[in-house]
Amino acid sequence: MSAAQGPLSVYIHVPFCAVRCGYCDFNTYTATELGGGGSQAEYPANAMREMDLTLADDRAAGYEYDAVSTVFFGGGTPTLLPADDLVAMLEHLRSLIPLADGAEVTTEANPDSVTRASLSRLADGGITRVSFGMQSAVPSVLATLDRTHDPEKVPQAVAWAREAGLEVSLDLIYGTPGETLGDVETSVRAALACGVDHLSAYSLIIEGNTAMARQLRRGELEAPDADDMADKYELIDDLARADGLSWYEVSNFARTPARRSRHNLAYWQGGDWWGIGPGAHRHRDGLRAWNLKHPSRYAATLAADTLPVADSEQLSAEDRLVERIMLELRIADGLAVEAIPAPRRHQLAVHRDRGHLEAAALEDGRAVLTREGRLLADAVIRDLVP
């Protein structure tokens, strides 16, 4: 089989961090020397091996992709690896499947894990976009989040990246215990002052197995409050809009459609993607698979020439429909009304009347969330899925 299946996205998970943050429940490790071939030094070779096996697996299943349209190095902290390692992985990928013209290649980075030189090396090696984990501009908030960077470093890192020709996005976290509305305003203004064209803002979610959840249980931190979160989201939206950025997904804002993260849009629009690295998820035409989480087990499985898959699921037609409604309703383009099962469509008018859906878009056959609706997206989705 050699039929082309359209564009492919590739996610490469780098599971290492200098410090684990108290709110983080991602698959990441701080030790540089993990046993069984799972160390940072051996990581790039493992990732490349996994790319080879994934390609073979696709081919065996009759899938062949023309080109890679987006690549995303996430973590962890990808920039904890030498820039050459990231470039080498990208090179290896290109040797398997060519990069499309104008492909978007993003890496996540900590403001303090980059230098002018490393950013320039990344740009030269084919990376086009960098997403900095800024989180906040307020030192006390950063301290609660266990973030080690000095907020002063962010504008500098952004400037170096732009100088190297990279697009820049900043990530913010709002709703950290103790954060005031004023703190949020300070952070958003500081981010916008860097002149970025893309902003992501996530409300802090305290997962049960994190250090922060333990602090919360001990009463050392106050639990985030939903109304306060809503106030902060609205403030962020106001400030972004005033600066010329508009929402294109519940938590993402861009200056122009061209500046939207195409990699993330691929997730939300049902694209196929590879998930390379420990714990990474992959999607191929309704097949979702996810890797073993621990770098050592991941490495050992690859050493036996086997894909390091922990488990997988084949989505039913209904699953795919649920996912489509769930994901597309979150983006500014919205969801085509015909996609919603007929017995649920009467809910559209209910949510329009409650101010959750744009009345004008609905007349044009699309369900698009209002700002109030964005904050209640899950409730709206529950009413629309089969």
Partner 1 sequence: MPVTPRIAADEARDILPASTPQERLRNFCIIAHIDHGKSTLADRMLQITGIVDERAMRAQYLDRMDIERERGITVKSQAVRMPWQVDGTNFALNMIDTPGHVDFTYEVSRSLAACEGAILLVDAAQGIEAQTLANLYLAMENDLTIIPVLNKIDLPGAEPERYAAEIGQLVGVEPDEVLRVSGKTGLGVPELLDHVVRTLPPPHGEPEAPCRAMIFDSVYDTYRGVVTYIRVVDGHLRSRDRIDMMSTGAHHELLEIGVSSPEPHPTKGIGPGEVGYLITGVKDVRQSKVGDTVTTSVRGATEALDGYSDPKPMVYSGLFPIDGSDYPVLRDALDKLKLNDAALNYEPETSTALGFGFRVGFLGLLHLEIIRERLEREFDLDLISTAPSVVYQVLMEDGTEVEVMNPSDFPTGKIQEISEPVTKATILVPSEFIGAVMELCQSKRGNLGGMDYLSEDRVELRYTLPLAEIVFDFFDQLKSRTRGYASLDYDISGSQVADLVKVDMLLQGEPVDAFSAIVHRDKAYSYGVEMAGKLKKLIPRQQFEVPIQAAIGARIIARENIRAMRKDVLSKCYGGDISRKRKLLEKQKEGKKRMKNIGSVEVPQEAFIAALSADESAMPKDKDAKKK
Contact residues for partner 1, defined by CB under 8 A: 11, 201-203, 205, 222-223, 225-227, 229-230, 233, 250-251, 264, 267-268, 273, 275, 279-281, 283, 288, 290, 313, 319, 322-323, 326-327, 330, 354, 356, 372, 374-379, 381-382, 385
Reported residue count of the chain is 386
Shortest separation between residue 164's beta carbon and partner 1, angstroms? 25
Nearer to partner 1, 23 or 43 (CB): 23
Nearer to partner 1, 46 or 203 (CB): 203
Nearer to partner 1, 46 or 252 (CB): 252
Shortest separation between residue 225's beta carbon and partner 1, angstroms? 7
Shortest separation between residue 120's beta carbon and partner 1, angstroms? 28
Shortest separation between residue 379's beta carbon and partner 1, angstroms? 4
Nearer to partner 1, 55 or 377 (CB): 377
Nearer to partner 1, 43 or 267 (CB): 267
Could you give the strand order of the β-sheet that contains 281-284, starting from the edge strand earlier in sequence?
246-249, 252-254, 198-203, 167-174, 129-135, 99-109, 68-75, 8-14, 272-276, 281-284, 287-291, 309-314
Shortest separation between residue 185's beta carbon and partner 1, angstroms? 19
Nearer to partner 1, 355 or 365 (CB): 355
Shortest separation between residue 318's beta carbon and partner 1, angstroms? 10
Shortest separation between residue 41's beta carbon and partner 1, angstroms? 25
Nearer to partner 1, 118 or 370 (CB): 370
Shortest separation between residue 286's beta carbon and partner 1, angstroms? 12
Nearer to partner 1, 147 or 263 (CB): 263
Give φ, ψ of 148 to 5 degrees: -95, -15
